[in-house]
Amino acid sequence: MTIENKIRNIMLGAALFAASHNTFASEPTAKAQGEVVIPRVYKNGAQEATEEQITYIIETNEYPHLLMDQDSLQDWYQQKKLINGNGATVLIQPVQGKPGYCVAGLNGKPQLFPVLDKRTNDDELEKSEWIVNLSKIDSDYQYNFLCDLKAEAPKPTAPVVPTTPISPDAPKVELPYLLFSPGASYLQIFATEDEIYNFGGNLRGGSLSLTVQRSDTDWYWGGRILGYFGSGSNLIDINVPATEGPLAGQLVMLGKNDHALTHSGVGLGSIFGYMIPFDKEGRFGVGLELEHGFMLDFDNRKFTESSAHYIDGNVLEGSNISNHSDTIDMQLYTYLTPGLRFKFPVVCGTISGGARTDFSDVDGMINAGIAYCPNKE
């Protein structure tokens, strides 16, 4: 064997040894037609995202949360330009403890705002490289996107072929749940005054409400039942002397007229609103809501008259007069009240104002109360 052949054999053996001990392939290896191309594998479980996964990341962030902080929004806009312009490699990496979820990030590209650690092109996803999930306000999931990768990182050893097939873990699905908010309120209605019954027009009462909100939306809806009451009375003395006839100046009619009014009512309404949170945990915020409903009023009017004729302070026998009447009227109203709901941890303060009408008269009304408002977890 010549010296040239020996050198050629030594170089060929070294190349085969190096190829057999290379765990990670940096790029897909070109194969002959019909053979399988080895996919790119990254350290620590990071892999290059597919076109479908990239499309899902972009679509998820197309409609971000209304109050996402500006730093996260600006960084996403910059990252989106890099993705669309093929200026960055999109990597995904399974999240330990959250099967079916991946961290997504741009490898080796700078952020717009300062960070503690720099992005490096080392096939690993540091937190400064992560793409924030703008549709999530939950800090446990705000960097996570649904994917089909298992939450396991490949080990830097020779692959082990399992003896039995292993089915992938099913993706964890976040099911929406309902948030119930019961509340109580004070009600004031400014109805029409009635001088005959000495009724000032104030109807006071209260209401009980219940609203429901899905955990995956900021819209809420519900209903309210309410009741109210007001009353007035007017006692008028009768003193009418005779001005004509033979007993003029001597004959006097004395007595009392009693006017009494009891005004009460019940109502039922529906509430529809939208809560704008001020923080990612949903502990603070303000809700814009609109309430519409109906009220049924009951007016109970009583009148009692009692009188007699007197001459020189003495009652004339048979001159006593007594009258009594009792009537109940019902009237249907419709009402509309826009309002605000101020969200604090666990509780909400509510205030609304508007008007009711029976299409012949309009009464103003206000409603203020407190409600139990659980935070989103």
**Which tens digit of pLDDT belongs to each residue from 253-276?**
899 999 999 999 999 999 999 999
> What is the spatial distance between Cα 35 and Cα 311, in angstroms, rounded to a whole number?
130
The pLDDT of 99-122, averaged and rounded, is: 74
Which residue did the predictor score with more confidence, 65 or 35? Answer: 65
Establish how many alpha carbons lie within 13 A of residue 309's alpha carbon, considering only the half-sphere containing its beta carbon.
Answer: 11
Q: How confident is the model at residue 7 (pLDDT cuts 50, 70, 90)?
A: very low
Do residues 126 and 143 touch, judged by C-beta distance below 8 A? no
The pLDDT of 127-132, averaged and rounded, is: 84
Residue 84 has pLDDT above 70, yes or no: yes
The widest CA-to-CA distance across the chain, in whole angstroms, is 166
DSSP state of 153: P
Mean per-residue pLDDT over the chain, rounded: 81
C-alpha distance from residue 284 to each of 26, 68, 351, 367 (Å): 48, 14, 16, 22
**Tokens at 123, concatenated:** 């096939």
178-373 adopts what CATH topology?
Answer: Porin (2.40.160)
> What is the spatial distance between Cα 228 and Cα 265, in angstroms, rounded to a whole number?
5
The pLDDT of 106-130, averaged and rounded, is: 71
Residue 166 burial by Cβ neighbours in a 10 Å radius (0-12, 13-18, 19+):
exposed
Phi and psi at 173, nearest 5°, equal -105, 125
Question: Per mean pLDDT, which of 32-41, 118-127, 160-169 is the most reliable?
Answer: 118-127
Q: What percent of the chain has pLDDT over 90?
A: 38
Provide the β-strand partners of residue 144.
103
Residue that has been written with the tokens 């826009």 in this structure = 338
Is pTM, for the whole model, over 0.85?
A: no
Residue 376 burial by Cβ neighbours in a 10 Å radius (0-12, 13-18, 19+):
middle
DSSP state of 129: G
**pLDDT score at 163:** 55
Q: How confident is the model at residue 348 (pLDDT cuts 50, 70, 90)?
A: very high
Do residues 343 and 286 touch, judged by C-beta distance below 8 A? yes
> What is the spatial distance between Cα 222 and Cα 219, in angstroms, rounded to a whole number?
11
C-alpha distance from residue 371 to each of 15, 207, 210, 273, 346 (Å): 74, 11, 9, 14, 9
Q: How confident is the model at residue 129 (pLDDT cuts 50, 70, 90)?
A: confident
Which residue did the predictor score with more confidence, 136 or 15? Answer: 136
Residue that has been written with the tokens 């899905």 in this structure = 214
Query: Which part of the chain is CATH 2.40.160?
Result: 178-373
Question: Per mean pLDDT, which of 105-119, 122-136, 316-330 is the most reliable?
Answer: 316-330
Residue 359 has pLDDT above 70, yes or no: yes
In sequence order, what DSSP letters do the residues of 179-234 get, joined into one string?
EEEEEEEEEEEE---BTTTTB--EEEEEEEEEEEEETT-SEEEEEEEEEEEEEEEE
Sign of CA dihedral 63, 64, 66, 71: negative
DSSP state of 44: G
> What is the spatial distance between Cα 120 and Cα 40, in angstroms, rounded to a whole number?
18
The pLDDT of 11-39, averaged and rounded, is: 42
